[in-house]
Amino acid sequence: MRITLADLQKMKAAGERIAMITAYDFPSARIADRAGVPLLLVGDSLGMVVLGHDTTLPVTLDDMIRHAGAVVRGSETALVVCDLPFLTYASEADAVTSVRRIMQETGAQAVKLEGGAPILPIVRRLTELGVPVMGHLGFTPQSQNQLGVKVQARDVVGARQLLKDAKALEAAGAFAVVLELVPAALARAVSARLTIPTIGIGAGVGCDGQVQVWHDLLGLFEGKTPRHARRFAEIGKAIEAAVTGYVAEVRAGSFPTDAHSAKMDPADLAEALDAEAVLN
Ligand code: KIV
């Protein structure tokens, strides 16, 4: 049985913090699911950490569908949320078409949309149609060309707008909202004023849950780790060491050994080679 929206609501009410993580493929989903992660996000961060783009903007609906399908197949318990990629929900009609494809072709249970006031009618429409919607406020990567990659809502006007947008998303039917790169005190205040869970990333410990990108958490991403991320392991280095060892053993002829190789009756081989001699 998968986690439900009601379960998440209960976790918020009980003050039980929610750990969400991104997943992009079958094996990562399986590991996260077994580790007890209740919420898996097939984020459009896929564009950067898996597909090698600089931003999330080139990610297509087909990309999301391919990866979300794998994450759903790899998980049994977690609720799977799939990001709607850039400009695939610019109108209500576009949003409905995109969500229909995501939910029917992948089996994901929910979708995430970025933005506040401008997307409220879309969130309302989708939730009326029975689609669980997660909001995303603060730094919204699909608008990074307007916003810049930086902490949002630091001043009075920005903070008021964020609070207003969060409440409006809740009223429109969102079941949770991601707060990304928002001052911790503001995120805590927003979390206290909402009945739905807030999931923070770079928004402090006062949120109802946290989300981290798989590659950041596991040390699979080259370059500078964002301030809000912590490497809980150095899997990238472990993989590099393993592959280096493999290359060295292939070069040295020490891999594969007899134990890794199929056997044949030597008499059969001799006979076959005799036949070859006859043929040649
Ligand atoms: O795409 C993503 O991974 C996200 C998280 C950073 C919240 O939206």
Judge if 207 and 261 occupy the same domain: no
Judge if 12 and 140 occupy the same domain: yes
Radius of gyration of the chain (CA): 24
Atom 4 of ligand 1, nearest CA residue: 43
Does the C-beta of 43 come closer than 6 Å to ligand 1?
yes
| Ligand 1 atom at minimum distance from 112 CA | 8
Q: What is the mean pLDDT of residues 227-251?
A: 95
Does the C-beta of 45 come closer than 6 Å to ligand 1?
yes
> pTM here?
0.94
Reported as a pLDDT band with limits 50, 70 and 90, residue 278 is low
Length of the chain (residues): 280
Judge if 32 and 73 occupy the same domain: yes
Reported as a pLDDT band with limits 50, 70 and 90, residue 279 is low
Atom 3 of ligand 1, nearest CA residue: 43
Judge if 41 and 62 occupy the same domain: yes
Going from the Cα of 97 to the center of ligand 1, the distance in angstroms, rounded, reads 22
| Ligand 1 atom at minimum distance from 45 CA | 1
Does the C-beta of 211 come closer than 6 Å to ligand 1?
yes
Going from the Cα of 247 to the center of ligand 1, the distance in angstroms, rounded, reads 35
| Ligand 1 atom at minimum distance from 22 CA | 3
- At 73-117, the pLDDT tens digits run 999 999 999 999 999 999 999 999 999 999 999 999 999 999 999
Domain containing 268 equals 238-279
Residue 219 and residue 233 in contact, taking contact as beta carbons nearer than 8 Å: yes
Going from the Cα of 250 to the center of ligand 1, the distance in angstroms, rounded, reads 39
Residue 150 and residue 162 in contact, taking contact as beta carbons nearer than 8 Å: no
Active site residues: 180
State the total domains in the chain: 2
Judge if 224 and 111 occupy the same domain: yes
Q: What is the dihedral of CA 47, 52, 55, 58, to 10 degrees?
A: -60
Judge if 117 and 18 occupy the same domain: yes
Judge if 92 and 164 occupy the same domain: yes
Judge if 157 and 253 occupy the same domain: no
CATH of residue 185's domain is: 3.20.20.60
Judge if 35 and 69 occupy the same domain: yes
Separation between Cα atoms, residue 122 and residue 114, nearest integer Å: 11
